[in-house]
Amino acid sequence: MFRIRRFAAASAAIVAATVALSGCAITQAVDEGQGGDEMVIGLAVANQQADFFNQIRQSVEARAEELGDVKVIVADAKGDADTQVSQIQDFITQDVDAIIYIPAGATAATVPVRNAKSAGIPVVTVDRNPEGEPGDTFIATDSVTAARELAQWVGEKTGGTGRIGVIQGQIGTTPELDRDKGFKEGLAEFPDLIEVARQASNMWAQDEGFDIATDMLQAHPEITVFFGRADALALGAASAARTAGRDDILIVGFDGDVAGLEAVRDGVLDATVTQPTQAMGALALDSAIKLADGEELPAEQLQEGVLTTAENVEPFIENHP
C-alpha cells in the first residue's frame, strides 16, 4: 500500500535539501533536482513563529541532512487550518513519500490525514493527533503524566492551598486536552487547591496570556496560581501579574521553549515542563521514512516531559533535548 523506496545498486549519496514554504506556495521542488533514490517528505508545520514548532522543524531538517538521501519540503500554515489543508493537498498532488503533520488546530484537522491515506501516503502526526482520523503513528510528549507531575509540584509549593487561574490553549487540540486531564489528576490530591477561572486562547500566544490573566485578576483577585498551558501563555500571565503589582502569584507553564526556560532561570516563571523537541523531530523523520518503506510502527510514540525548575533548568538552556 505504501510506496517502497528502491535503491540503485551503485547510487551516490544525495545531499538533503530543505525548501521552506508558506501558504500554498509549494512549487515543483519535489520533482526538480530529485535523484532517483531520494525520498521526499512533506513537513506541515502549524506555525513557525512558535518556538516549539520551529524547533521541531529544525530537528527534522538536521536529521535529513545527517541521513543525506532525504529531501524535506516545509509548509508553514501560520496558524490557519484551512491554509494547511491546501498545503497538504499540494503534498499529495506532488506524490511525496510521507507527510509529517503538525495540525494548526482542531478545525479541519482530520481532512489532511484522510486525504493522504486515500492517496496511499503515510502520515506521522506530531504534538496533535486528529480525533477520529489519527496519523499512522503519533509522536508527542506524554502530557498527561507531565501535567500531573506539574500539578503535584504546585501542590507541594503552595502547601496544598490556593486559587488557580488556568489559561488554556486551543480548545479541542491534543495538548490542551491532555494537559487538562493530567493537571486535574494531580490537583485531586490537594482539595484546598481550587481552580476558580479558566479561559481559552486561540493561538497559545503571549499577548493572549496577558489579556486573559489581566481579566482574571480583575474578576478573581484571590488567584494565587496561574497555569499557562504553554510557556508563552505563562509569560503573558507573569507580565499581567507584574502590572497588577502581584508578586505573590505562582506561575507555571508548559513546553520548555527557550524564552520559557530563561524565564524559569530568571525567576519570572516558577516552573515549566520541558518537551524533548529535538528528539521528537528526529524521531518524526525516522518514522516517516520507516512508514514509507512499508514498516509498521506503534500507534503512539510518547516521550517524557521533564518538570523544570530553577534547580535543573540550566542544562536545558545550554543543550535543549
Dist CA 262 CA 244 (whole Å)? 22
Per-residue pLDDT of the chain (321 residues), as tens digits, is 334 432 322 233 333 333 344 443 443 444 444 445 799 999 999 999 999 999 999 999 999 999 999 999 999 999 999 999 999 999 999 999 999 999 999 989 999 999 999 999 999 999 999 999 999 999 999 999 999 999 999 999 999 999 999 999 999 999 999 999 999 999 999 999 999 999 999 999 999 999 999 999 999 999 999 999 999 999 999 999 999 999 999 999 999 999 999 999 999 999 999 999 999 999 999 999 999 999 999 999 999 999 999 999 999 999 999
pTM: 0.88
Nearest to 59 by CA among 297, 276, 296, 316: 276
pLDDT value of residue 167:
98
pLDDT value of residue 24:
39
Nearest to 216 by CA among 230, 199, 233, 201: 199
pLDDT value of residue 280:
98
Q: Identify the helix (H) or strand (E) that includes residue 42.
A: strand 39-45
DSSP class of 229: S
* Residue-wise DSSP of 252-285: E-SB--HHHHHHHHTTSSSBEEE--HHHHHHHHH
Dist CA 262 CA 17 (whole Å)? 32
pLDDT value of residue 86:
98
Dist CA 300 CA 280 (whole Å)? 12
* Residue-wise DSSP of 128-184: ---TTS--SEEEEE-HHHHHHHHHHHHHHHTTTEEEEEEEE-STTSHHHHHHHHHHH
Strand, helix or coil for residue 241: helix
User: Which domains can be identified in the chain, with CATH numbers?
Assistant: 18-140+276-302 (3.40.50.2300), 143-274 (3.40.50.2300)
Nearest to 287 by CA among 155, 140, 173: 140
